[in-house]
Amino acid sequence: MRSSKTLAGTAILTLTLAMAACGGGDDSGGGKSINVLIAANTQYPQEQQAWQKSIAEQFRTQTGADVKWETFASANDELTKIQTSVVSGSGPDVYAVGTTFTPTAYSTKAFVTLGDEQWKQVGGKEKFIPSALGISGPDEQNQIGIPWVGRPFVMVYNTELLKAAGIDKPATTWDELTEQAKKLTTGDQHGLAVAYKDNFDPWKFIWGMSAQAGNPIVDGKTARIQDPAVQKAYQTYFGWLATDKVVDPAAVGWTNSQAIAAFAEGKTGYMALTSALATKALDAGAVKGKWQFALLPTVPPGATSRPANGVEAASILSGDNLLVADYSKNKDLAFQFVRLITDEPAQLEIYKQLGQLPSNAAAAQSLQSDPKLKVVVEAQQKSVATPFSGAWADVQLALTNAVVQSIPDLSKGSISTATIDGRLADAQKKAQSALDRAK
């Protein structure tokens, strides 16, 4: 009896201590430190660790404070982390979040809005590529995101196959791309690799084609999915497989990495949506030495030139922004850290180690000399931000869902306009209801 009481007492004590430890503050013991949350780089894990170590050392030399890194494996992990931190008011001081997620993060109002003082702390707005600031906030006065790295989307093409088909330069309009893909499709060779089953790729095509045709899909608080430009975009996107037959029928099951792998086998003319991060995978395949990046077409389908209200969207504005948490007790340190990793040397270092493109204008300029990268840097400069709305996550989900549900029809080889219209009506409804809720 006595021993069990002691046991119970010990258990309660342990529990209390554990809870105290959980609720305990930061900075316990020693000098100051900041917590930084970034995505785990599964492609280059060792390089990422080396980079983290090097940055942490530089930061300690500069400020005497330590950097504690936290990484997340997927967007969900990140979101969960943000949610719990937002609710509890404690967690990382600096977050690196994807560009398209920045509007959602903004809508939680849990991050520091950048005033003149903060911009000065990070080294001034002027040090960044202007286009990279496109998704930092809803307007100039309400920015929360400091551009960190870019991952613009480009096409990759097989130089040998294009040459053999008598194509001397890659397509610059979507119609031209379709035409070239038709020429490239013979026997077991396909013109185009498209990841129809990817959870993110589809909406990027649809948004890009629509924006080029003058419809950014979200117009203030109105969704414009039931629109001829969007319909044409879906028809083109589905048409490659269903009617033009320039895509391998197996592509209805492909994610982006599967499409890259298919292209890397050397039997495909173009892979339509990739980024500089694919370099390693491409060089490991049969296409080594036979591939080139090219800008995605910027003239909407069915047109030979871009309409007056269309935008030259070569890519969605893609990459990571840095956000400083509102609850942070170390904001000054956090901004010093942000300055460090957005200055030219660190930006060149992360490119060298991890292949992430700089958002720092001077660093980007110095990469222009690499002919392979020239196109990618250009794509970054011609990137256009997706609409800045807390509802955007739902809009892109609705756009992707229209593709997910159409795959069976697509696979059968025909998808009627009526079917597409039905899916668009559904997507419109969902997107509009999300926009109606946006605050």
Partner 1 sequence: MRQRPLWLLAPGGALMILVILLPLGLAGWISTIDLDQYTLRRWVQAPFIGLGNYTESLGSGLLHSIWISVSFAVLSTLATIPIGIAAALVTQNAYRGRALVRAVFLIPYVLPSFVVATVWRTMLQPDGVVNNWLGADGSLWLSGPRSYWALILVEIWAAWPFIYLMALAALQSVDHEVHEASAVDGATWWPKLTRVVLPYLRGPVLLACLLATLNHINNFTLPFVLFGAPAPDDVNVMPMLVYVTSFQSLRFGLSAAMAVVSLIIIAIPLFAYLRAVRLDVHEEGGRR
Helix/strand/coil for 159: helix
Do residues 144 and 388 touch, judged by C-beta distance below 8 A? no
Count CA atoms closer than 13 A to 424's CA, side-chain side. Answer: 21
* 5 sits near partner 1 (criterion: CB under 8 A): no
* 381 sits near partner 1 (criterion: CB under 8 A): no
- Residue 81 or 182 having the CB closest to partner 1: 81
- Residue 157 or 203 having the CB closest to partner 1: 203
The 17-56 contact track toward partner 1, x by CB under 8 A, reads: ----------------------------------------
- Residue 87 or 284 having the CB closest to partner 1: 87
**Candidate list 6, 10, 16, 80; residue touching partner 1; CB under 8 A:** 80
Contact window for partner 1 (CB under 8 A) among 105-113, 217-225, 226-234, 339-347: 105-113
CA distances in angstroms from 264 to 149, 354, 362, listed in the order given: 26, 21, 33
Contact window for partner 1 (CB under 8 A) among 108-116, 183-191, 287-295, 314-322: 108-116
The 210-229 contact track toward partner 1, x by CB under 8 A, reads: --------------------
Name the residue among 280, 258, 260 with its Cα closest to residue 270: 260
Our measurement of the distance from residue 410's CA atom to the centroid of its chain's CA atoms, rounded to an integer in Å, reads: 26
- Sort 434 into a burial class: Cβ within 10 Å, 0-12 / 13-18 / 19+: buried
CA dist 171 and 180 (Å) reads: 7
Helix/strand/coil for 257: helix
* 414 sits near partner 1 (criterion: CB under 8 A): no
- Residue 58 or 90 having the CB closest to partner 1: 90
**Candidate list 40, 50, 79, 277; residue touching partner 1; CB under 8 A:** 79
* 419 sits near partner 1 (criterion: CB under 8 A): no
* 113 sits near partner 1 (criterion: CB under 8 A): no
**Candidate list 127, 151, 190, 197; residue touching partner 1; CB under 8 A:** 197
Instruction: Output DSSP code: residue 198.
Output: -
* 109 sits near partner 1 (criterion: CB under 8 A): yes
DSSP string, 260-300: HHHHHTT-EEEEEEE-GGGHHHHHTSTTTTSEEEEPPP-B-
Contact window for partner 1 (CB under 8 A) among 45-53, 63-71, 249-257, 269-277: 249-257
Helix/strand/coil for 75: helix
* 427 sits near partner 1 (criterion: CB under 8 A): no
> Smallest distance from the beta carbon of 129 to partner 1, in angstroms?
28
- Residue 8 or 17 having the CB closest to partner 1: 8
CA dist 19 and 200 (Å) reads: 40
Q: Enumerate residues 6+ apart whose C-beta is below 8 A from 153.
A: 204, 273, 274, 275, 296, 314, 315, 316, 318, 379
**Interacting residue ranges for partner 1, rule: CB under 8 A:** 8, 76, 79-80, 83, 86-87, 104, 107-110, 197, 199, 248-250, 252-253, 255, 390, 393-394, 397, 400-401, 404-405, 407-408, 411, 434, 437-439
